[in-house]
Structure 1
Amino acid sequence: MTADLLAAPRSPRSATQRRRGNLEKWGWIYMRASGVLLIVLIFGHLFVNLMVGEGIRGIDFAFVAGKFATPFWQWWDVAMLWLALIHGTNGMRTIVNDYVANETTRKVLVYGLWASAAFLILLGTLVVFTFDPCLGLSSTSADWLQELCA
């Protein structure tokens, strides 16, 4: 019975198997490379937010507005967002591929994962690059915000 399910070790692979194998190889390489980059990005993010300046007490709206006013920190956070979401989605795709036997269900789940990741990447990128602390500024806003937006 198992002989019918497993291909012979030296049998040629079909085009679909070759494509998926190549996708799996690049997914594996991406997971390793993005993992290393994420370690640098996340620990840099944590160091700047928690160790520099006032530490955790200094994190407020003004701190975030100041960081998002600098292109360096915008790109740092966007790179962290993109890498983390794609890394996590690729990991979930691997789990779905391993545990979901039904091909239709597997495809629906994988497409759903990638669609939600794409939506979150788009939304997060828009938030980072269009962040405006002066949007909706009222006369009752804090003094520092009034000065920042003047």
Structure 2
Amino acid sequence: MHDDEWFAVSAENCHQVEGPFFHGTRADLSVGDLLRAGFTSNYDDRIVMNHVYFTAVPKGAGLAAEMARGAGRPRVYVVAPTGGFEDDPNVTNKKFRGNPTRSYRSASPLRIVGELECWEPYDAQFIGELRRRVQEGMGEIIN
């Protein structure tokens, strides 16, 4: 699949989506660990996540890592889905046609297969503005 070709990704056709895939967080994890749904959001303690979110865009995972709460350093893990996944409905077709951020979600765990040591960071002022908006209850921007 090329970047300019988009089709709705579902559990039935997700095998057609090429990785690698990335997940950003501040958690200190190891290769082989599983990221699972059912835990509180990286951004809001009031939200228990029904899915694990990931992307095929390293910078997007870097943004998630920079935005995540916690004392650890931002980390971007290379992950492999263990089950079906679908387009992240929070971004797909919301502002742009298709899924240009290549963001996905899965109710199945993601296995950590590596860690990306370097990614293009976002501007600190941009991160501060996003954090402010999240604290004001606009979590839908990044969830």
TM-score range (shorter-chain normalised) is: under 0.3
Q: Which has the higher contact order (CA 8 A, sep 6+)?
A: 2
Larger Rg: 1
Q: Which has the higher strand share?
A: 2
- TM-score normalised to the size of structure 1? 0.19
- TM-score normalised to the size of structure 2? 0.19
